[in-house]
């Protein structure tokens, strides 16, 4: 029992969550983002969505989620796709395999890393906001 407390105490003091923590909606931070007309380095295959800071595996992770398509009826179900936004090549490639079509095709992993790097940095600033923050367009 003492050993478990000794391991958990730094996490509690740092305000971090354990690896099995399931985040509530009030812990998620989000910001709407969209592609500008002149933007050539937009890394996503859709023109707008939500950048989010969520808990995963006991740490904050930046993700991008697509918006509900405008032509989809109100009663029709919608399950938004999401991708991890990071410069870690393993997470960027293997972690996004299920929804890789949400990322714009790129010639190499290095190119994809270059494209997502500004959004990963933006997402990290989002993660620094208070829990439950909803940041307006262009506020970070």
Q: Which domain holds residue 112?
A: 29-68+78-130
- Identify whether 115 is part of a domain: yes
- Identify whether 137 is part of a domain: no
At residue 5, the pLDDT reads 41
Nearest to 102 by CA among 50, 139, 27: 50
- Identify whether 22 is part of a domain: no
- Identify whether 21 is part of a domain: no
- Identify whether 6 is part of a domain: no
- Identify whether 139 is part of a domain: no
Could you give the number of structural domains in the chain?
Answer: 1
Tens digits of pLDDT across the chain (140 residues): 444 444 444 444 345 556 655 656 667 788 899 999 888 899 999 999 999 998 877 788 999 999 998 888 888 999 999 999 999 999 999 999 999 999 999 999 999 999 999 999 999 998 888 776 666 666 65
- Identify whether 14 is part of a domain: no
CB-CB contact of 102 with 82 (8 Å): yes
Residues whose CB falls within 8 Å of the CB of residue 116, separated by 6 or more in sequence, listed in order: 43, 85, 86, 87, 92, 103
- Identify whether 2 is part of a domain: no
């Amino acid at each position: 029992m003492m050993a478990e407390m000794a391991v958990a105490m730094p996490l509690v003091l740092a305000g971090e969550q354990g690896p099995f923590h399931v985040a509530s909606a009030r812990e998620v931070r989000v910001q709407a983002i969209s592609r500008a007309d002149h933007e050539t380095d937009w890394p996503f295959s859709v023109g707008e969505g939500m950048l989010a800071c969520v808990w995963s595996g006991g740490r904050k992770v930046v993700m991008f989620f697509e918006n509900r398509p405008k032509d989809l009826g109100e009663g029709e179900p919608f399950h938004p796709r999401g991708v991890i936004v990071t410069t870690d090549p393993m997470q960027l490639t293997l972690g996004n395999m299920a929804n890789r079509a949400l990322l714009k095709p790129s010639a190499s992993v290095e190119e994809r890393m270059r494209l997502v790097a500004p959004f990963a940095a933006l997402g990290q600033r989002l993660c620094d906001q208070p829990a439950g923050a909803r940041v307006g367009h262009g506020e970070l």
